[in-house]
Amino acid sequence: MASLKEMRNRISSVKATQKITKAMQMVAAAKLRRSQDAAESARPYATRLASVIANLSAGVSGDGPKLLSGTGSDQRHLVVVATSDRGLAGGFNSAIVRAAKDFAQSLLAQGKDVKIITVGKKARDPLRRVFGEERIVESFELAGQRTLTLASAQPVADAITRIFEAGETDVVTLFYSRFKSVVSQVPTARQLIPAAVESDAPKSDAVYTYEPSEEEILETLLPRYLTVQILSALLENQAGFYASQMSAMDNATRNAGDMIRRYTLEYNRTRQAQITKELIEIISGAEAI
Amino acid sequence: MAKLHFSLVAPERELYSGDVDQVDAPGTEGDFGVLAGHAPFMTALKEGRVTVRDGSAVRVFDIQGGFADVTPEGLTILAEHAVEAA
């Protein structure tokens, strides 16, 4: 049986841990609200841009730009995996990494070539362990960026475009976590190149006038769309990360509370037993006289 | 007079959304104004000012490039960067 002093130490150390997890939970809750707002206010731009592109691509004759139509092959894949830079968020990062890993392994099993770009610290190490250094062509970190803007997504988009234009890849897929709700984040794959355009946009029969030409507009819009898609994935990731961290820390706080209750009960029982034992000793000593 | 539905969105947020009388914007091939019932039209925008008129109220935004999309439903400006001019 542990001594009273040991038990007191253990209780106070669990209490200290609980204070930390509770603080982290509250910080995550505050940041969640902010990043949720950011993700939501970025949504109109992305949806409008998507519908404009859907409209345009429906009208483009022939194959159109390569970013839209692809290279016509699907032999070489580029997988972009976006996670957070920090951990302590339950299974958030590992769920994304697992989804990406399964996808990449099934491609490899089909004899296809896979290259990987990681965004966020938590993607690089586990993927490097599985696929080796040479498959990971680029790694980005978001550390220190408190607010995500287009400028945060631009380097990633530039790298993708560079690799694509050098003819080193055919299909680009982005893995991130879709922010469904505070309690549910779903690891999601989104195909970036060839651009998956939802064609359910209401098709207007009206004759459009374009300045400059349709093709030129599409040429400039598509790279922009790529960046915006990455940004919105990063924003959803961030919101999902804080939501996940919040619930992970909430659990941790509750577990710590349970532990404290259990230890305190045990501590009090032991203390009481000791007092009773001492009393018995005194009384039986007195009776003996 | 019919109103034009106008929205101005930047990547980070929506800056303006509502019904207005007229919007003037800087197209790459010349400035243009849009009223309600404008023919469908799409253009790239250059750096400049977007002026939104609604009755006697005038609001001005500085934008840096983007696209304007005029549909029968209204005008949407997708700006790469936009701030309201003081």
CATH number at residue B22: 2.60.15.10
How many other C-beta atoms can be found within 10 angstroms of the C-beta atom of residue A258? 10
Chain A residue numbers with beta carbons less than 8 Å from the beta carbon of B39 are 206-207, 209
Whether B64 has its CB under 8 Å from any CB of chain A: the answer is no
User: B78, B81, B83: which to substitute to probe chain A, counting the most A Cβ within 10 Å?
Assistant: B78
For residues A167 and A193, membership in a common domain is answered with yes
The minimal CB distance from A211 to the residues B13, B43, B71 is found for B43
Low-confidence ranges of chain A (pLDDT < 70): 1, 59-64, 144, 197-207
Instruction: Give residue B1's pLDDT.
Output: 67
Residue contact B40–A206, C-beta within 8 A:
yes
Phi-psi region of A210 (alpha: psi -120 to 50; beta: other; left: phi over 0): beta
Residue pLDDT tens, chain B, 86 long: 689 999 999 887 888 999 999 999 999 888 999 999 888 888 889 999 999 999 899 999 999 888 898 888 889 999 888 888 87
Instruction: Tabulate helix, strand, coil % of chain A (nearest 5).
Output: 65, 15, 20
User: Does residue A220 belong to the interface with chain B, where contact is any CB pair within 8 Å?
Assistant: yes
Nearest to A206 among B14, B72, B80 (CB): B72
Instruction: Evaluate whether B61 touches B49 at the Cβ level (below 8 Å).
Output: yes
Residues A180 and A145 in one domain: yes
- Which residues, 6 or more positions from B85, have their beta carbon under 8 angstroms from its beta carbon? B49, B60, B61, B62
A205 within some domain? no
Single pTM value for the model: 0.83
Of A42, A209, A212, the CB nearest to B44: A212
Q: Which residues of B touch A212 (CB under 8 A)?
A: 28-29, 43-44
- Looking at residue B42, its pLDDT comes to 85
Does one domain contain both A226 and A269? Answer: no
Q: Please check whether residues A66 and A156 belong to one and the same domain.
A: yes
Owning domain of residue B68: 4-84
CA–CA distances in Å: residue A39 to residues A33, A34, B42, B77: 10, 9, 27, 20
Q: Is the ipTM of this complex over 0.90?
A: no
Whether residues A91 and A166 fall in one domain: yes
Peptide bond into A194 cis (omega under 30): yes
For position A214, what pLDDT does the model report? 77
| Three-state DSSP class for residue A62 | coil
Closest CA to A65 of A189, A214, A166, A227: A214
> How high is the pLDDT of residue A56?
77
Tell me, what's the pLDDT at A60?
66
Q: Is-cis flag, bond preceding A212, omega within 30? A: yes
Nearest residue of chain B to residue A41 (CA atoms): B13
- CATH number of the domain to which A50 belongs: 3.40.1380.10
Counting one residue from chain A and one from chain B, the pairs whose CB atoms sit within 8 A come to 76
Question: Same structural domain for residues A9 and A60?
Answer: no
User: Using an 8 Å Cβ cutoff, are B7 and B17 in contact?
Assistant: yes
Question: Cβ contact (<8 Å) for A45 and B39?
Answer: no
